[in-house]
């Protein structure tokens, strides 16, 4: 099922600015993840966070360059030099913004099978992960 994406200027409940709660391992979460991937594909995006679909959960997904992953209850650590790049966001449509981010990110999370994972990313994947994680802490590209 394709879900509606909350846009920053049409967010009366303030879901894009809230703190979120951890995800529980249940059938509802599994179905939500499948629907999020369907929504992401339909929107031609590379990442989607639960707050963007009106869910107050610590969850995001990434689909970029043949790589797909689900990040449940993630924790990130950024490091390295800072880099600027134009970014776009499904919740801030048609407004690319220059954002400064750290070059590298280390992320700890559970995947869709509830396996604990830890990885480091740089380049575009590092940037996508930082962008999607920002949604989990109530931050948008318009804040940069």
Sign of CA dihedral 35, 39, 40, 42: positive
Nearest to 77 by CA among 48, 109, 104: 104
Q: What is the pTM of this model?
A: 0.96
Catalytic residue among 27, 83, 120, 132: 132
* pLDDT for res 16: 97
Q: Quickly count: other Cβ atoms within 10 Å of residue 32's Cβ.
A: 20
Distance in angstroms (rounded) separating the CA atoms of residues 71 and 4: 20
Q: Give 105-137 pLDDT, tens digit per residue.
A: 999 999 999 999 999 999 999 999 999 999 999
Count Cβ atoms below 10 Å from residue 14 Cβ, excluding itself.
10
- The domains of the chain are located at 17-143
Rounded CA-CA distance 47/87 in Å is 12
Domain 17-143 has CATH 3.40.50.800: no
Strand ordering across the sheet containing 59-64 = 47-49, 59-64, 67-89, 92-110, 116-122
87 is catalytic: no
Residue 19 pLDDT greater than 90, yes or no: no
Query: Per-residue pLDDT tens for 31-70?
Result: 999 999 999 999 999 999 999 999 999 999 999 999 999 9
Q: pLDDT at position 86, please? A: 97
82-104: average pLDDT:
96
> Is residue 47 within 8 Å of 58, Cβ to Cβ?
no
| CA-based torsion, 15, 21, 26, 30: positive or negative | positive
Q: Are 46 and 66 in contact (CB under 8 A)?
A: no
pLDDT of residue 84: 96
Kindly state the average pLDDT of the residues 75-87: 96
| 3-class SS shares of the chain: helix, strand, coil, % to 5 | 30, 40, 30
């Amino acid at each position: 099922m394709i879900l509606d994406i909350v846009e920053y200027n049409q967010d009366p409940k303030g879901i894009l600015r809230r703190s979120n709660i951890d995800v529980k391992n249940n059938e509802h979460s599994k179905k939500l993840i499948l629907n999020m991937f369907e929504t992401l594909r339909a929107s031609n995006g590379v990442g989607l966070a639960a707050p963007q679909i009106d869910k107050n959960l610590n969850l995001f997904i990434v689909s970029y360059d043949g790589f797909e992953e689900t990040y449940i209850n993630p924790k990130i650590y950024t490091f390295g030099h800072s880099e600027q790049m134009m970014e776009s966001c499904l919740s801030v449509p048609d407004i690319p913004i220059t954002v400064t981010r750290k070059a590298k990110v280390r992320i700890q999370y559970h995947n869709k099978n509830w396996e604990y994972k830890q990885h480091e990313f740089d380049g575009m994947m590092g940037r996508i992960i930082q962008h999607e994680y920002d949604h989990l802490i109530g931050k948008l590209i318009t804040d940069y």
